[in-house]
Chains A and B, each alone.
Chain A
Amino acid sequence: MAGAAESIRLRGQPSPAGVAGRAQRRAARRSWLVPLALLLPSGLALGGIILYPLTYSLYLSFHELPLFGARPRFVGLEQFRRLLASDWFWHDLWNTTVFTAGSVLVQLTAGVGLALLLNRLRTGRSVLRGLLLAPYIVPTVVVALLWRWVLNDLYGIIPHLLTTLGIPSPQWLANPSWAMATVIGINAWMFFPFVLLVVMARLEGVPPSLYEAAALDGAGGWQRFRYVTLPQLREVLVVVGLLRGIWMFNKFDSVWLITAGGPVGATETLPILGYIASFARFDLGAGAAVGTVVFAIIMALTVAYLWLLRTEE
C-alpha cells in the first residue's frame, strides 16, 4: 500500500533523491510549525462548529431551556430521568434498532448481490453500474416525495401494478404495521448503491488465481462464493456494515420527509424524537438529552469500528 511505504519513508530512510533533497526534506518534515500552521484553520473550524456545539449540547441536556426562553436553568439529571421514564423513548429506541438493522441488512444484501451479478458480466458492466447508482444521486427530499407518489393509495403506480398482477397491495405508508417496512425498503433503495460501488471495487482486487485454484479443486459456483469470494469480502463488509449502521442510526431527513414518524409513531426513531422535542415542543434541553443518549450509543459503535479497523491491520 502506498500509505505504508510512505510512512516508512517518513521515518527517515534514504530515498533515491539526492543528498541535498534529503537535507531539505529533513528540514521541512521535522518542522512543527508548518504542519501546525496548515492544520490550524481547519482545526479551529472543527472546534467551533463541531466540538463546541457538542459540548454545549451536553451542557444543555442538564438544563431546561424553552426555545423562546431567556436562560438555561440547571435541572441536574432531570431531563434524563424524564426521558428514560417515558414510554416513547423505549418505543423509539426499538424503532431505531429495527430501522437500522433492517435497512443495513437489505442494502448489504442488495448491494453485494448486484455487485456479484455485474461482476460476472462482460458486456455493459459500467453502464449498468452507472444506472444502478441513480437512487443514490437523487436528493433525499425528492426520494421522499417520489415514493409517496409512486405508493399513493389511490393513484400510485406500484399498488396498481401489484393489483394487476393479483398481489394484494397494503396501504404502504398509512398502515402502521407496514410503514416501518416501507421506510426500510426506501432507505435501502437509496443507499444500496454505496455498497454496490465498494463491493465491486473490492471484487476487482480478488486474484483470479484463487478462483482457478478453487476450480482445480472441483469447487462449484456456491462453493467458490462461500470459500473464495466471501472471505475476500469479509473485511470490506464489516467496515461498510458498521459505517452504514452508524449512518442509519442517525438518519433523520429521509424518515422525517417520508412519514414524519407516523402513522401513530410507527416509524418514529430517536433522531425524530429529538427533533420533535426541540423544534415542535420547543424544549431544547429535552432534545439535547436525547442527543446525548444517541451520541453515547454512536460513540460505542464508532469505538467498535475503529477497534475493528485496528485488528484488521
Chain B
Amino acid sequence: MRARWLREALLLVLAIGAVLAVDFPIAWMPLSSIKEFGDLFSSPPRIVPREITFRHYITLFERTGFGTYFVNSTVVALATVALSLLLSLPAAYALTRYRFPGREAYARFALLAYMFPPVFLAIPLFVILVRMRLGNSYVGLVLTHMTFALPFSIWLLRAFFRAVPLELEEAAWVDGATQLQGVWHVVLPLSFAGVMATAIFTAVLSWNDYLFAAILMTTEGKKTLPLAVALLTSEASSTEWGVIMAAGVLVTIPAVALFAGMHRYVVQGIGVGALKE
C-alpha cells in the first residue's frame, strides 16, 4: 500500500516537472510583457519583475493598428467557420446517410485535400485571386482559408455523424418526423460536441493563418493579427521585446479561451475525428 502511494507521488512529481518544462516558455511571455525595460534587459534576467507596467500594451495600441487587426482576424475567422459549416454539414450528412457511387472517393479526396501543401496552393491561388480582383480582400482571404477549413470540416463531421446510430433517426421518421426534422432533432443534438469541436478547430486554424494573409493582404488596414505581429517582430529593434510579448499575449488569449471553454469537445474531437475511419 505504501509502495503504491510512493509510486504515485513519484509519477506525479515527474508529470508536474514535465508540465513546468513544457509550459514555462509560454508563461515567460506574459511575464515579459509587464516588465519595465530595466528588468526586461537585465543580465542575469530577472524572473520576478521589480515593478509591473502596462506601458508595452499601451505602446502597442498607440503605435500600431492593433484593434483593427483584431477585428479583421475575428471577422475572417467567423466567416470561415460559417461558410465551411454551411458547406460541410450537408456534405457530411450525405456521406454518412446515403450510399451512392463515388461516396468513398469523395471522402478520401477531402482527407487528401487537407494534406496538400499550403505553400503550393498559395502560389496559383494568389494569381487566380488577383486576376479576379480579390487580392487584398476579405472575401479572397476567406476563400483561401476554406482550402484547409472545408476539407477538415467534412472529414471531422463525417466521423461524428457516423457515430450517431441510424436507428434513432429512423425512429423519429416512424413517429412522423420529416427527414429535415430528423436531422434537426436527432442528428445535430447528438453530434453537437462534434459540430462544436469542428467549429472551434476551424476558427483557430483561420485565426492562426499567416501564409495566406502574407501573400494576399497588402494594405495596412486589412492585415490580420498573425501577419501584423510577424511584421512587428521583423521591423522591431531589440528594445521592443516588451511590445512584441504584449502582442503575443493578446493574440494567444482568444485561442486559449476557445480551447479552454470547450476543452471537452476538443478532446472528443481529436479522439474521434483526427484518425481512423
In contact, B123 and A154 (Cβ under 8 angstroms):
no
Known A114-B18, A240-B275; judge A29-B97 contact (CB<8 A).
Answer: yes
Q: Please, which residues of chain B bring their CB within 8 A of the CB of A16?
A: 167
Tally of A interface residues using CB under 8 Å: 109
* Contact pattern, A 46-70, Cβ under 8 Å of B = 1, otherwise 0: 1001101110110010000100000
Interface residues of B in 80-99 (CB under 8 A from A): 86-88, 90-91, 93-99
In contact, B162 and A2 (Cβ under 8 angstroms):
yes
Q: Please, which residues of chain A bring their CB within 8 A of the CB of B221?
A: none
* Contact pattern, B 37-58, Cβ under 8 Å of A = 1, otherwise 0: 0001111110100000000000
A198 near B: Cβ within 8 Å?
yes
In contact, A201 and B229 (Cβ under 8 angstroms):
no
Q: Please, which residues of chain A bring their CB within 8 A of the CB of B248?
A: 142, 145-146
How distant is A16 from chain B, measured CB to nearest CB, in Å?
7
How distant is B55 from chain A, measured CB to nearest CB, in Å?
17
A133 near B: Cβ within 8 Å?
yes
B192 near A: Cβ within 8 Å?
no
In contact, A198 and B113 (Cβ under 8 angstroms):
no
Interface residues of B in 176-235 (CB under 8 A from A): 179, 204, 207-208, 210-211, 215, 225-226, 229-230, 233
* Contact pattern, A 14-57, Cβ under 8 Å of B = 1, otherwise 0: 01111011001100110110111011011101100110111011
Q: Please, which residues of chain B bring their CB within 8 A of the CB of A294?
A: 117, 120
In contact, B147 and A50 (Cβ under 8 angstroms):
yes
Cα–Cα distance between A278 and B98 once the two chains are bound (Å): 43
Q: Pick the contact of B22: A134, A152, A253, A306 (CB < 8 A).
A: A134
In contact, B98 and A146 (Cβ under 8 angstroms):
no
Q: Pick the contact of A2: B23, B110, B165 (CB < 8 A).
A: B165
In contact, B251 and A57 (Cβ under 8 angstroms):
no
In contact, A49 and B144 (Cβ under 8 angstroms):
yes
Known A21-B170, A49-B146, A201-B270; judge A42-B226 contact (CB<8 A).
Answer: no
Interface residues of B (CB under 8 A from A): 8, 11-12, 14-16, 18-19, 22-23, 25-26, 28-29, 32, 40-45, 47, 86-88, 90-91, 93-100, 103, 106, 108-110, 112-113, 115-128, 143-144, 146-147, 150-151, 154, 162-163, 165-167, 170-171, 173-174, 179, 204, 207-208, 210-211, 215, 225-226, 229-230, 233, 238, 241, 244-245, 248, 251-252, 255-256, 259-260, 263, 267, 270-271, 274-277
Interface residues of A (CB under 8 A from B): 2-3, 5-7, 9-11, 15-18, 20-21, 24-25, 28-29, 31-32, 34-36, 38-39, 41-43, 45-46, 49-50, 52-54, 56-57, 60, 65, 114, 117-118, 120-124, 128, 130-135, 137-142, 144-150, 152, 154-158, 160, 164, 189, 194, 197-198, 201, 236, 239-240, 243, 246-247, 249-250, 252-253, 256-257, 271, 274-275, 278-279, 284, 287-288, 290-292, 294-295, 298, 302, 306, 309
The 4 closest A-B pairs by CB, nearest first: A291-B120, A38-B94, A53-B124, A38-B90
